[in-house]
Amino acid sequence: MRRRSSLSASVNGWPPMERRKTILICDDEPALRELIRASMDEGYDFAEASDGIIAMELARDMQPDLVILDLMLPRLSGLEVLARFNEDARLKDVPVLVITAWNETREDVLAAGADDFVTKPFDPADLRNAVNRLVAA
């Protein structure tokens, strides 16, 4: 059986279509994960994790283009996930957007390894702009 290329061809076969970017959303609240997905532009694929352990497993398996990470996660906090990302050669270059209601300062979160920070409740346009900027970088 012939393997298909990872790049899809256009109707005429050229040019190949770009691979869709994948965003891993890590939040323990299903309604918030849905709101984050609904806030995004079309053209992204999503995976979801409800706790820090699942977030790490999925990130290692799928190598997402961006991780949206809540700090208050069960089993492994968002700060612990950030620390493990920084220690993992496969994940240290994956951009991480922290989204949280914690009273952490932006500087503290960025110093912990995040690439950007959005507070809850968030403006969907602000979230979308941050995501688009990080995925394009």
Q: What's the rounded Cα separation, in Å, for the pair 6 and 52?
A: 29
26 exposure class (CB count in 10 Å sphere: 0-12, 13-18, 19+)? buried
> Quick check: 129 and 99 in contact, CB under 8 A?
no
Is the pLDDT reported for residue 11 higher than 70? no
Token pair of 117, please?
């920070």
Site of tokens 């920070």: 117
Domains in the chain and their CATH numbers? 22-136 (3.40.50.2300)
Binned at pLDDT 50, 70 and 90, residue 89 comes out as: very high
> Quick check: 100 and 78 in contact, CB under 8 A?
yes
Residue-wise pLDDT for 47-72, tens only, equals 999 999 999 999 999 999 999 999 99
